[in-house]
Chains A and B, each alone.
Chain A
Amino acid sequence: MKEKLEEIEELVNEIEVDILKLQSLFSNFLKKHLKGLIIENYIGEYPTFMEPVILGEKVKIGDDVLIGPYVYIGDNSEIGNYAELSNTIIFDNVRVGTNIKLDNCIVTKNCKLNFNNSNIKNCILKGIANSEKEVLKIYF
C-alpha cells in the first residue's frame, strides 16, 4: 500500500500532473489497496468511520466528524470538527478546517486548509490557505 501511495504522491507533486494516470492510480488505490479499518492510533473522541478507512500515526480528529468510505489519512494530520471525508487521500501533516466536506480529493503533504464551511470535490488540493480562494486546486 505504501508503494502505491508514494506513486500517487510523486505524481501529484509534478508541475504538470498526468490526470489520466492519476485517475487510474487513485481509483485503483482506493478500491483495491485500501481495505479494512485501521484506526488504532488517532487522537479524538469517537468519530464515525465507514470502512475502508486507514489512519496514520497521531491523526487528530475533531467532534462529529464522518470519515469514509475509502479514506486514507497520513501521519500527524488534523481534521476539524464536523468535517466529512469520503473517497479521499490526505497525506502527512495536513490540516482540514471545521465543517469542510471533501469527496474524491487528494490533499498533498503539509497542505493547510485553514478555513471553514466548504464543500470540495474532485480535485488535488495544495498550499497553505486561509480561505478557499487561496487553495491551489487541480481538478481531475
Chain B
Amino acid sequence: MRVSFPYMGSTIVYGKLLELLGHQVVMPEPPTRKTVDLGVKYSPEFACFPFKVIMGTYLETLERGVELFVTTGGQGPCRAGFYGELHKKIIQNMGYDVDFIVLDPPWRDYEKFFRQILTLKGDNSWFKVAEVIHTVYKMCKSVDIIEKLITTVRAYAGDRAALNRSWRDILTAYSQIETARDVARVEEEALRVIEKYDIKLPPQEKRIRIGIVGEIYVVMEPSINGNIEEILNSLGAETERSLYLSTYIDETIFPWIGRKEKKKLIKKASGYIDLNIGGHARLSVGQIVDFKDRGFDGVIHLKPFACLPELISESMLEKLSADLDMPILSLSIDEQTAEANIMTRLDAFVDFIKYGKAYSKERVSLSV
C-alpha cells in the first residue's frame, strides 16, 4: 500500500520508520507557498495554521497516488488532537478515496489501537519492529545533536552558505541509513565535516544565545517559521529550541524517559501556569525560565495565529520578561506572515540584545 504522513519536522523519521517496516512510502515535500495556498483553500478559515499546511501537503501527496495516511491523534485539549478526524472528513467529502490511520493514545480504545498497529506492522516480526524503532530513535537523537551543533557554530561561520549545504548533505546521509551502526557512522562523518570549517566560538560573555519556545509545529518546521534559526544565526546569535524531534518522541512514545526533565520544567512554570492546559504552553513557560537560568540572552516565543494554549502563555510574557529581566519576543505565524516582517523584528530584537549587553558592560566598568 502507498503510505504517506503529515509533513512535520524532520520527516525522515516517519519516512524511515514506515520504510524500514516495508511500506511503500510517498515522501511529502517541504511545504511551499503553493502548498499553503492549497491548504488554506480547503481548510476552515479559523483552523490553526499547522492544520492548513498539513491539509496542503495531504492534497499534494494525494496527486501522487497515496492510499493511506498515517497520523497521530491525541488527548487534547489542544485542537491538534482532532486534526486527523477533520482532515479525513474534509478530504473524503472532496471525493478522494483514501484511508486514514489516526493513532490515538491506546487507552482510549485498546482494540482499535492494536488493529492499527497490526496493519502498520505488516508481515514483520515483533523483533524486527523493535529493531526498527531502536534504529529510528537512535537516528533522531543523533540528528538532534548535529542540529544543535549547527545552530551554534553557524552564528560564527564565515561561509554560511557552504555550511548550509553541508547540513543538507548530512540530512541526506541520515535518510539513507538502515541500521543503528549506520547512524554512528553518519554522525562521525558529520562531526568531521563540521570540524573542517574550523569555527572558533568567542568567549562566553560575548556569545549571544537565544532560546526558541512555543507551539511544536512552528518551532520545529523551518519552512513554516521562515527559517527563523538561520536568520538569527546570520545575525550573529546562537539558537536553541525547546523542542527537538527526540523530545517529541520521548514525550509521546517513551514518556518515562523525559519525565525528569518535564518535572523540572513544570516546577519552573509554577506560579505562572499551574495545570496542563494542552499543547506545550505550560512547558513553554517552564522553558523560558529555564533558558534564563542557563544564561540565555533572550527568548523568542512562536505560535500559530490564535493557538489556544499558547495564547495563555503569551498573555503572561510581559510579566515573565519583567520578572526574569530578559527580553522576550512573541511572533504569530500564519498564511499572512510576511518574511520582511519577521526579518525586521528579529533584526531589531538581536540589536536590542547586543546593545543591552554592551551597555550593561559599560555600566559594570563605570562602577569599577
Answer yes or no: are A and B bound together in one complex.
no
A binding-site residues for B, Cβ under 8 Å = none
